[in-house]
Amino acid sequence: MEREIETEQNKSQKVEEAENAGFSELERNKIQLMKALLNKQDPSFVEVDDYTMRRFLRARNLDIEKASIMLLKYLKWRHTFVPKGYISPSEVPNEITQNKVFVQGVDKQGRPIAVVFGGRHLQIKDGFEELKRFVVFAFDKVCARLLAGNEEFMMILDLQGYGYSNSDVRGYIGVLSILQIMFVDNRVLTSTLLELIDERQLPDLYGGKQPLVPIHNS
């Protein structure tokens, strides 16, 4: 009996250690205070995981009040825009047929890789809502590949062949405003990417050995 109790205690300790992995003491304290504030501000608040809460805290320089407001707004939007909790391929058929987003392994830091071909994007008449659903669909697919504690992914935005027919200012502003972009000269593209991505994980289009995988097939 004593051994069984000790085993259960060890299990609990390991779970706690795993949950706290990568968190500073300040972050753990902030998260606990943020949970209390969220439950007070919104009794219907459904607790999210600590990694998500840390992401919102970091986005607001660990300001609990500002992070709480930001998170509640996000959850409200998510509940309204994605009531089922996910976007199905049947809700974004026109965007999928453009075959413009792919997912590829991970980079050297373990971040999932996404490849987006801007030259394949064509604005669809009355299709702005579908585009927004597709963005959520794609981000959810990529984020599902994130390892616990890893809050970043790498996106390769390929603008080769991009022209007037691909211009969609309204759509791009909505997407690009949340991304950090690094422009790379084509002459050093492969060497630059290989500094960040192992050859076995780099798409074959850019000199690697990984075939492209459409986002809807991931």
Residue 118 CA: distances (Å) to CA of 100, 112, 127, 160, 168? 7, 19, 17, 8, 10
Higher-pLDDT residue of 4 and 147 is 147
Rounded to whole angstroms, how far apart are CA atoms 173 and 59? 20
Range with the largest mean pLDDT of 48-52, 89-93, 162-166, 198-202 = 89-93
On whether the 2-81 domain is CATH 1.10.287, my answer is no
Q: Which CATH superfamily is domain 89-217 in?
A: CRAL-TRIO lipid binding domain (3.40.525.10)
Sketch the domain layout of the chain as residue ranges.
2-81, 89-217
pLDDT at 60: 87
pLDDT at 17: 44
pLDDT interval class at 65 (50, 70, 90): very high
Q: What is the mean pLDDT of residues 138-163?
A: 82
pLDDT interval class at 122 (50, 70, 90): confident
